[in-house]
Structure 1
Amino acid sequence: MTRAGAETGAGGPEASAEATATATATATDGARPGAPPRALVVVGDVVTDVVAVHPEPLAPATDTAARIRTLPGGAGANAACWAARSGAAEVRLLARVGTESARWHEQALLDAGVRPRLVVDPAEPTGTVVALVGKDAERTFLTDSGASLRLCPADWAPDLLDGAARLHLSGYLFFADSSRELATVALRAARGRGIAVSVDPASAGFLAALGPERFLDAVAGIDVLLPNEDEARLLAGLPERAGAARAAAELSRRVPLVVVTRGAAGALVAEGGRVTAEVAAETARAVDSTGAGDAFTGGFLAALLAGAAPARAAGAGCRAAALAVTRLGGRP
């Protein structure tokens, strides 16, 4: 790996304020001429997660006791780390971070087996997400995207796709003009090379604000869509009471393979306008559901890279998600 800057800081994002350069991973390291494509390239977000677990309901206008941790996160970065944890031979990540935590995030990704190409933003800090986790392990997010949505076409490098078998785009990219343009560039580059592309819609709230049809137009030509139930219904133009199976089937008329995650109910696989498999969730004692969908995505994509059929890949995704909810934060 080639990178600029001083030694990696330790102890948290505040320990690396002097980092000012772009951290890069040479995309072709380890590639052999004539070797079959094997890499997964993820383009998405790296953020700092502040996870607050509060066993009791929030008490307005006073204190609520909580267990609070600051952890590396971000939907794109989480998915990349879970793909590496799930056996993907090579995982690369393109993201944008702030100078104050660039090295901390870089080292966390390297430790997870991911090759990061982090563009350091000179103006905005790394995105921050406050995750409020209640007694039921469900989470509510407060999101400041910061530098993550300032990715732009100039950050793209064609060599990121050298030796790649799959490209995964975090849905968060599509919710800001600059990062959406970058996602379009990456998608076209992958399609031009015959590389399969997957997208997870990321956020029902942001999706509704952008507009479902606008999102679907932006991702036209992808091979795999990975929404949760709420996102699937929204994208399919169905009411809240509609079943996830109907939404999955409808979306698979527009995208060849649709996998709808359903939390404790597992996942649905749809192809060609019909549901082709229902995959049960793995039993787990949930502590924090933050990043469960990202874990599913990473496990699923790693299995596809290994040659698994969609239903078996969804099973691998469910196993990763079950492991993810047993720990704080969104990373392995």
Structure 2
Amino acid sequence: MSLGDLAWDVLAKPDTMLLPGGDTTGRLELSGGGSAANLAVWARRAGYPATFVGKIGRDRFGELATAELRAEGVRAELTLSDEHPTGVILALIDRRGQRAMLTGQGADWELLPGELPGEVLRGGRHLHLTAWSLFRDPPRGAALAAARIAKEAGATLSLDPGSFQMIQQMGRENFLHVVDDIPFDVIFPNDDEARAMSGETDHGRALSWLRDRYPQALVVLKMDEEGALLEGPGQPRVHVPATPDTLTDATGAGDAFGGAFLAGWLTHGDAVRSARLAVQVGGWVVSRFGARPPADAELRARLDRFSLSGVGA
């Protein structure tokens, strides 16, 4: 189960540099997005049942984003707002495939504790949060309440730190103060987020800092073309290499990695095997355009190599 942002994505990859007052051609794509929603989609694509909990506007973008979520087989537990529109995210992708995001604060930023589906949260085996639900309140109160409800019911928790820039804007100590109150079992920082949280510039030292700060958690450090580095309680430090896929668009790759990892980890509990699946899925995503490219034979072949069995609810 994933809680947080469901939005409408606008992806733009100009053919040439954008100049003030200028005009150029490029590639555009519109689709459902949001980090928490993307992760739920990728967990489902990897073979694990997924539910998304969030808030959207009662508008056309919300209808479209919800329809795409349900078409992926994800159960959608949504609060509809008449006061706030569905969020819109603009992703500007440069010629190297790296992206910069502009996130419009829509209804997903207005989720309140009283709007949470308590029975759904109590019935889940795992709850995933992104820091996009923690950077301001609301929706922070709802995210923290959801974590308490799920944990008290016996669920495991995971967290994606979300954005190094938003961590910096919130203030490192303020962000850590909030995160320290979440008893998460897995954390998925990328390289920039690990640096922003730890103050360290080296992969290994950043991972050691996170392990010292959160000794109960499995830390899965996403390092782009360098793969992933993981360590946790009972799990010695292991490096999982990246795939040789060519970078086209990095949008959503971290969410795809997280969703695939959780699908494996919740099924069989093997963190290294789960990370190997996750880098395969992440590599496939970065070699295509968008956060949820249509599945093809190559993706199905990668998933089949790490097929899940004995999947629980």
Equivalent in 196, 201, 208 of residue 161 of structure 2: 201
Q: Which residue of 1 aligns with 2:256?
A: 295
Q: Distance in 2 between the 1:273 and 1:203 partners?
A: 28
Unaligned runs of 5+ in 2: 294-313
Q: Which residue of 1 aligns with 2:21?
A: 61
Q: Which residue of 1 aligns with 2:298?
A: none
2:54 is the alignment partner of 1:95: yes
Q: Which residue of 1 aligns with 2:184?
A: 222
Q: 2:265, 2:271 within 8 Å by CA — same for their partners in 1?
A: yes
Q: Which residue of 2 aligns with 1:248?
A: 207
Q: Distance in 2 between the 1:234 and 1:141 partners?
A: 18
Q: Distance in 2 between the 1:142 and 1:178 partners?
A: 19
Q: Which residue of 2 aligns with 1:155?
A: 115
Displaced runs of 4 or more, over 3 A: 272-275
Matched length: 288
Q: By how many angstroms is 1:60 displaced?
A: 2.4
Equivalent in 59, 67, 70 of residue 107 of structure 1: 67
Q: Provide the secondary structure at the position in 2 that maps to 1:97.
A: strand
Deviates more, 1:99-108 or 1:129-138: 99-108
Q: 1:249, 1:275 within 8 Å by CA — same for their partners in 2?
A: no
Q: 2:123, 2:153 within 8 Å by CA — same for their partners in 1?
A: no
Q: By how many angstroms is 1:274 displaced?
A: 9.2
Q: Which residue of 1 aligns with 2:36?
A: 76
Q: Which residue of 2 aligns with 1:305?
A: 266
Q: By how many angstroms is 1:218 displaced?
A: 2.1
TM-score, normalised on structure 1?
Answer: 0.83
Q: Which residue of 2 aligns with 1:235?
A: 197
% identical equivalent positions = 35
Task: State the one-letter code of the partner of 1:77.
Answer: A
Q: Provide the secondary structure at the position in 2 that maps to 1:61.
A: coil
CA deviation string 1:170-226 (max 9, x = no partner): 110001211110111011112212211000011111111222333233233111111
Q: Provide the secondary structure at the position in 2 that maps to 1:306.
A: helix
Q: Provide the secondary structure at the position in 2 that maps to 1:282.
A: coil
Q: By how many angstroms is 1:165 displaced?
A: 1.6
Equivalent in 196, 214, 222 of residue 261 of structure 1: 222
Q: Distance in 2 between the 1:323 and 1:44 partners?
A: 25
Q: CA RMSD in A?
A: 1.7
CA deviation string 1:94-131 (max 9, x = no partner): 11111222221221011111000121111111111111
Task: State the one-letter code of the partner of 1:118.
Answer: L
Q: Distance in 2 between the 1:113 and 1:162 partners?
A: 21
Q: By how many angstroms is 1:237 displaced?
A: 2.5
CA deviation string 1:24-63 (max 9, x = no partner): xxxxxxxxxxxxxxxxx10010111111112322222211
Q: Provide the secondary structure at the position in 1 that maps to 2:8.
A: strand
Q: 1:252, 1:274 within 8 Å by CA — same for their partners in 2?
A: no
Q: By how many angstroms is 1:143 displaced?
A: 1.4
Q: Distance in 2 between the 1:293 and 1:152 partners?
A: 26
Q: 1:167, 1:196 within 8 Å by CA — same for their partners in 2?
A: yes
Q: Which residue of 1 aligns with 2:296?
A: none
Q: Distance in 2 between the 1:275 and 1:229 partners?
A: 19
Unaligned runs of 5+ in 1: 1-40
Equivalent in 281, 302, 305 of residue 242 of structure 2: 281
Task: State the one-letter code of the partner of 1:91.
Answer: A
